[in-house]
Structure 1
Amino acid sequence: EDAPPIPAELRRLELGAEVLGRALDAAPVEWAEYGRALAARARGESGLALELAERDAEARPTARGWQLVAELKRDAGDAAGAQAAEQRAKSLGSQRR
């Protein structure tokens, strides 16, 4: 018996995962933790995503990295932590200018 066709939404997720995998493979090694955090977030593994994002932001501080930490903390209900991470992101962003 044949299985029903895969729903379009799931096929888009499969394609997105393939693209993400290729992007992670091609990314410079210093972006690896950030990429893993994005991948974990996409899989719904919010705890792991936050752990990886925080590790990345501490080891290689960037505005983008701290902004991801802020988003993940906000998603986890940690408003104070999200605000602190946003401040770090803003501080790093203003240093680049």
Structure 2
Amino acid sequence: MAETTPQTARVGFNVRARAGGSLACAHCEHDLPGTPTTYLSQVPRHVGPTREGGPMVFADPAVYVDAEIVFRQYYCPGCYTALHTEVVPASEPV
């Protein structure tokens, strides 16, 4: 994993912001598009049923809410490290 230096700052565990404002994967240094608030909409992502979130996501969302709930996972386009994972209403914007 790339180290955080005085010229970089963490945006998340797997994303760093460089001194010039560009973003990079903290693992492979691949340039990521966008800004800290927009990069998720511009990287590869997988959308699936909530059960794909792992063994701790076990309840059927339909028991609790009327909206469709999905699992989303966003990836680095260079090394496919998961940058962010969420369980959200399908209608929630990226």
TM-score tier by shorter-chain length is: under 0.3
Q: Given the two structures, how large is their TM-score scaled by the length of structure 2?
A: 0.26
Structure richer in helix, relative to its length = 1
With a CA cutoff of 8 Å and minimum separation of 6, indicate the structure with the bigger relative contact order.
2
